[in-house]
Amino acid sequence: MCRRYTKSIMSKPSKLSWLLAFCCIVPLIALAQASKEDQSERYAAEGQQALAAGQFDTARTDFEQLAKLQPGVAEVHATLAAIYFQQHEYELAVREVRAAQRLKPSLPRLDTLLGLSLSELGQFQEALPHLEKGFKQSADPDVRHMCGLQLLRAYTGLSRDSDAVEAALALNKLYPDDPEVLYHTGRIYGNFAYIVMERLHDKAAGSIWMLQAQGEANESQKLYDAAIIAFNHVLQLDPQRPGIHYRMGRIYLSQFREGHKPEDREAAVREFTAELGVDPSNGNAGYELANIQVELGNLDEARKQFAQVIEKYPDFEEALVGLGGVYLDSQQAKDAVDPLQHATRLRPEDKVAWYRLAQAERAAGNREEQAKALAEFRKLHNSTPVTLRKSNAGEEITPQQLDSDAKP
Q: DSSP of 204-230, one letter per residue?
A: -TTSHHHHHHHHHHHHHTT-HHHHHHH
Q: What is the pLDDT, as a whole number, of residue 85?
A: 92
Q: What is the pLDDT, as a whole number, of residue 36?
A: 46
CA distances 316 to 245, 336, 347, Å, are 21, 15, 10
Separation between Cα atoms, residue 89 and residue 106, nearest integer Å = 24
Q: What is the pLDDT, as a whole number, of residue 10?
A: 45
- pLDDT per residue as tens, the chain (408 positions): 333 333 444 444 445 555 554 454 444 445 544 444 578 888 888 888 888 888 989 989 999 999 998 899 999 999 999 999 989 999 999 999 999 999 999 888 899 999 999 999 999 999 999 999 999 988 889 889 999 999 999 999 998 989 999 999 999 999 999 999 999 999 888 888 877 888 888 888 888 988 888 888 888 889 999 999 999 999 999 999 999 999 999 999 999 999 999 999 999 999 999 999 999 999 999 999 999 999 999 999 999 999 999 999 999 999 999 999 999 999 999 999 999 999 999 999 999 999 999 999 999 999 999 999 999 999 998 876 444 444 443 458 999 998 766 766
Q: What is the pLDDT, as a whole number, of residue 39?
A: 83
Separation between Cα atoms, residue 300 and residue 316, nearest integer Å = 20
Reply yes or no on domain 315-408 having CATH 1.25.40.10. Answer: yes
Reply yes or no on domain 204-313 having CATH 1.25.40.10. Answer: yes
Domain boundaries, the chain: 10-108, 126-203, 204-313, 315-408
Query: 3-class SS at 58?
Result: helix
Separation between Cα atoms, residue 87 and residue 54, nearest integer Å = 12
pLDDT tens per residue across span 275-319: 999 999 999 999 999 999 999 999 999 999 999 999 999 999 999
Q: For the chain, what percentages of helix, strand and coil (3-state, to nearest 5) are there?
A: 75, 0, 25
* Distance spanning both ends of the chain, measured CA to CA: 46
pLDDT tens per residue across span 63-112: 999 999 889 999 999 999 999 998 999 999 999 999 999 999 988 889 99
Q: What is the pLDDT, as a whole number, of residue 20?
A: 56
Q: What is the pLDDT, as a whole number, of residue 189?
A: 87
Report the b/e string of 273-311 with b at 16+ CB within 10 A: ebbbebbeebbbbbbbbbbbbbeeeebebbbebbebbbe
Residues 6+ apart with CB under 8 A from 204: 210
In SS3 terms, 269-319 reads as HHHHHHHHHHCCCCHHHHHHHHHHHHHCCCHHHHHHHHHHHHHHCCCCHHH
Give the DSSP H or E segment for 364: none
Q: What is the pTM of this model?
A: 0.64
Separation between Cα atoms, residue 83 and residue 23, nearest integer Å = 10
Q: Tell me, yes or no, if the two domains 10-108 and 204-313 fold the same way.
A: yes
Q: What is the pLDDT, as a whole number, of residue 198?
A: 80
Reply yes or no on domain 10-108 having CATH 3.40.50.10610. Answer: no
Query: Where are the alpha helices (H) located in 10-73, listed in sequence order?
Result: 17-23, 27-34, 38-52, 56-69
Report the b/e string of 47-83 with b at 16+ CB within 10 A: bbebbeeeebeebbbbbbbbbebbeebbbbbbbbbbb
